[in-house]
């Protein structure tokens, strides 16, 4: 498959710009061919206009047609074959086995959204039939369902070149909702992005859908992302990345003449609370699991546990010693980009230098030439933690900080002190749960997902998953970026009052031709209207 090094605007490779950049193999620091031309402001404009022009076709497409598009994209990605994994490996340093799993996840995610679209209840169809004889006034016939928002910008993530990039969860859920997508490739993996983008272009053609429904823009955020988010015809944004970049996009979107929603998944330190009963019962198993979760993917997961809260006692000391003892066996790993490694080492250094923080165990950092980093486990006291908010800074890499409390009250104070999180985890046994109520209540207000006796890395793509949390973890805790509910980010209700049958969307017709669940007079049913009381 020939790479063009160009953006794909409505299916066509274009390169009107003069600037270019190349991906770098993080393990060798070699520039990878081809160079990519940075998209121009005019190309951004063309992409969004093409999306807006094509939007009505996808909105009007049947659920079956949308499902076929999603499934065809999955099939086309699989057809790219080993080239895709090799390119992603060269661009990200991630191992082939991990990338193969990520490709599977990407494709099953697309197929899962196809099943959601076919099942159809996500549109929250509601019908309140007319009550012509009601006093003092008759009630009109009211029918409501979710409709697509319009063109969606998707910003690829550095740490998931497949599952959260060009055809990742944001794109899959946006197409499922009926929205065109303009993907902004992450600068670290333009080749992988082009391969996946071309697969989407082929899928649109195979499904006989307008090519304007998808564009892929190459280039940095400041030059490509900013004009994209400011474009008057853009309807929404999906972003996964740093807090600084996410917040900048949110502010940009909020200050538009017509503000649009930005779903930014930004930063999280994923606190873990180890309660004393659990530590006594299975401290060494927890120690092993924690170290595995901290070092998975060289610590480059948004759900990496970065703060571990414990009660100071002998069993806890044994657990912390066991974690420290495991550190030497954790091999260094290549990080995603030189920039990510550099920022990680900076943040880690700042954290290590804070008064009250001591290093419990650290592996030598590995080879700078291979862009490696290795694990560091640090420790502090709850008293120091409570007086040093900076200790809760996210270090995006294999670093974690134990926080030792001297009482359950101090542990609870720590839970109240932390900011919004994607996840919060408790390890406990039956004796611990008796007094854990206040801690659970506190964490429920801080995090989107609460785990018991598990580890937060490894985010399931399913119906009940919620991957989102209060600020600053995400820009909007009401929505998830993982799992089938992610489709709800890209839709808004439209209500039809006294519409003639022939003008109603199929989902709202009396006879329920799509056989979907609907809410009639407030009650859920799959029956046609005539059969409802």
Residues in the chain: 533
346 contacts a copy of itself (rule: CB under 8 A): no
CA dist., res. 494 & res. 241, Å (int): 32
> H/E/C letters for each residue in 365-389?
CCCCCCCEECCEEEEEEHHHHHHCH
105 contacts a copy of itself (rule: CB under 8 A): no
Q: One symbol per residue from 22 to 61: x for binding a copy of itself (CB under 8 A), - otherwise; what is it?
A: ----------------------------------x-----
Q: According to CB under 8 A, which one of 81, 82, 140, 356 is a site residue for a copy of itself?
A: 140
Q: According to CB under 8 A, which one of 2, 314, 353, 498 is a site residue for a copy of itself?
A: 498
CA dist., res. 304 & res. 272, Å (int): 10
> CB of residue 367 vs a copy of itself: minimum separation in angstroms?
30
- The nearer residue to a copy of itself, 1 or 495, going by C-beta atoms, is 495
- The nearer residue to a copy of itself, 355 or 522, going by C-beta atoms, is 522
Q: One symbol per residue from 452 to 481: x for binding a copy of itself (CB under 8 A), - otherwise; what is it?
A: xxx---x-x-xxxxx-x-xxx--xxxx-x-
Q: Which stretch binds a copy of itself (CB under 8 A): 28-36, 133-141, 285-293, 360-368?
A: 133-141
Cβ–Cβ under 8 Å, residues 155 and 53: no
203-262: which residues touch a copy of itself (CB under 8 A)?
250-251, 254-255, 257-261
Q: Give how far Cα 482 sits from Cα of 36, 190, 240, 264, Å.
A: 30, 23, 11, 12
Site of tokens 């989102």 = 468
Angle, helices 82-92 vs 190-206, to 10°: value is: 150
Determine which one of 194, 265, 372, 394 is catalytic.
Answer: 265
- The nearer residue to a copy of itself, 60 or 329, going by C-beta atoms, is 60
411 contacts a copy of itself (rule: CB under 8 A): no
Cβ–Cβ under 8 Å, residues 36 and 5: yes
> CB of residue 235 vs a copy of itself: minimum separation in angstroms?
9
> CB of residue 127 vs a copy of itself: minimum separation in angstroms?
6
Q: Which stretch binds a copy of itself (CB under 8 A): 20-28, 219-227, 281-289, 443-451?
A: 443-451
- The nearer residue to a copy of itself, 13 or 470, going by C-beta atoms, is 470
Is 265 assigned a catalytic role?
yes
209-226 burial, b at 16+ Cβ within 10 Å, e below that, comes to bbbbbbbbbbbebebbbb
Q: According to CB under 8 A, which one of 78, 119, 223, 281 is a site residue for a copy of itself?
A: 119
> CB of residue 493 vs a copy of itself: minimum separation in angstroms?
4
Q: According to CB under 8 A, which one of 143, 184, 189, 341 is a site residue for a copy of itself?
A: 143
| DSSP structure string for 61-80 | S-HHHHHHHHHHHHHHHHHH
Tokens of 509: 């017709």
Cβ–Cβ under 8 Å, residues 152 and 129: no
- The nearer residue to a copy of itself, 255 or 530, going by C-beta atoms, is 255
> CB of residue 162 vs a copy of itself: minimum separation in angstroms?
16
> CB of residue 471 vs a copy of itself: minimum separation in angstroms?
4
Is 342 assigned a catalytic role?
no
448 contacts a copy of itself (rule: CB under 8 A): yes
> CB of residue 509 vs a copy of itself: minimum separation in angstroms?
14
Site of tokens 């993907």 = 183
Q: Give how far Cα 479 sits from Cα of 137, 448, 476, Å.
A: 38, 10, 6
499-528: which residues touch a copy of itself (CB under 8 A)?
499-500, 502-503, 517, 519, 521-524
List of residues 6+ apart from 369 with CB closer than 8 A: 29
- The nearer residue to a copy of itself, 386 or 440, going by C-beta atoms, is 440
Q: Where are the alpha helices (DSSP H) in 240-358?
A: 243-254, 276-295, 314-326, 338-352
List of residues 6+ apart from 360 with CB closer than 8 A: 320, 323, 324, 377, 378, 379, 402
N- to C-terminal Cα distance for the chain? Answer: 59
- The nearer residue to a copy of itself, 36 or 479, going by C-beta atoms, is 479
- The nearer residue to a copy of itself, 83 or 462, going by C-beta atoms, is 462
Determine which one of 302, 394, 404, 414 is catalytic.
Answer: 302
Q: According to CB under 8 A, which one of 29, 350, 416, 492 is a site residue for a copy of itself?
A: 492
Our separate counts of H helices and E strands in the chain read: 15, 23
81 contacts a copy of itself (rule: CB under 8 A): no
- Site residue total, a copy of itself (CB under 8 A): 82
Q: According to CB under 8 A, which one of 19, 29, 139, 387 is a site residue for a copy of itself?
A: 139
CA dist., res. 276 & res. 147, Å (int): 50
186 contacts a copy of itself (rule: CB under 8 A): no
- The nearer residue to a copy of itself, 21 or 496, going by C-beta atoms, is 496
CA dist., res. 513 & res. 273, Å (int): 50
CA dist., res. 399 & res. 373, Å (int): 10
Would you name the residues annotated as active-site residues?
A: 265, 302
């Amino acid at each position: 498959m020939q790479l063009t090094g160009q953006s794909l605007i409505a299916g066509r490779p274009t390169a009107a710009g003069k600037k270019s950049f190349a991906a770098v193999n993080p393990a060798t620091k070699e520039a990878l061919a081809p160079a990519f031309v940075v998209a121009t402001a005019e190309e951004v404009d063309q992409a969004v206009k093409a999306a807006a022009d094509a939007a009505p076709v996808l909105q009007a497409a049947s659920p079956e047609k949308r499902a076929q598009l999603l499934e065809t994209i999955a099939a086309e990605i699989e057809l790219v074959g080993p080239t895709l994994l090799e390119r992603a490996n060269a661009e990200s340093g991630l191992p082939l086995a991990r990338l193969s799993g990520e490709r599977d996840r990407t494709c099953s995610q697309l197929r899962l959204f196809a099943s959601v679209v076919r099942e159809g209840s996500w549109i929250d169809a509601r019908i309140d039939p007319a009550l012509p004889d009601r006093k003092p006034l008759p009630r009109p016939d009211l029918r409501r369902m979710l409709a697509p928002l319009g063109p969606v910008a998707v910003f690829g993530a550095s740490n998931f070149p497949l599952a959260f990039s060009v055809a990742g969860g944001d794109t899959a859920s946006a197409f499922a909702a009926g929205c065109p997508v303009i993907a902004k490739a992450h600068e670290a993996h333009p080749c992988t992005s082009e391969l996946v983008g071309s697969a989407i272009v082929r899928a649109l053609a195979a499904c006989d859908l307008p090519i304007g429904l998808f564009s892929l823009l190459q280039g940095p955020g400041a030059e490509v992302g900013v004009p994209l988010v400011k474009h008057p015809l853009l309807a929404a944004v999906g972003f996964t990345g740093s807090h600084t970049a996410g917040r900048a996009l949110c502010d940009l979107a909020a200050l538009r003449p017509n503000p649009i929603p930005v779903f930014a998944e930004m930063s999280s330190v994923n606190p873990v609370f180890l309660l004393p009963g659990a530590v006594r019962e299975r401290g060494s198993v927890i120690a092993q699991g924690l170290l595995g979760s901290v070092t998975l993917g060289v610590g480059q997961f948004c759900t990496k546990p970065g703060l571990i809260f414990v009660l100071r006692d002998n069993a806890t000391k044994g657990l912390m010693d066991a974690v420290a003892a495991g550190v030497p066996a954790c091999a260094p790993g290549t990080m995603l980009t030189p920039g990510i490694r550099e920022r990680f080492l900076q943040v880690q250094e700042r954290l290590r230098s804070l008064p009250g923080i001591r290093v419990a165990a650290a592996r030598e950092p590995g080879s700078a030439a291979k862009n490696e980093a290795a694990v560091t486990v640090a420790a502090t006291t709850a008293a120091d933690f409570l007086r040093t908010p900076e200790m809760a800074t996210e270090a995006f890499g294999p670093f974690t900080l134990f926080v030792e409390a001297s009482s359950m009250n101090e542990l609870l104070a720590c839970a109240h002190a932390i900011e919004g999180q994607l996840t919060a985890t408790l390890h406990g046994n039956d004796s611990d749960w008796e007094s854990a109520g206040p801690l659970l209540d506190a964490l429920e207000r801080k995090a989107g997902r609460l785990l018991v006796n598990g580890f937060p890395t490894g985010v399931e793509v399913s119906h009940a998953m919620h991957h989102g949390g209060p600020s600053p973890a995400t820009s909007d805790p009401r929505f998830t970026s993982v799992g089938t509910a992610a489709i709800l980010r890209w839709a808004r209700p439209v209500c039809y009052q006294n519409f003639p049958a022939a003008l109603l969307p199929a989902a709202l017709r009396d006879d329920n031709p799509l056989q979907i669940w609907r809410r009639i007079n407030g009650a859920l049913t799959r029956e046609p209207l005539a059969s409802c009381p």
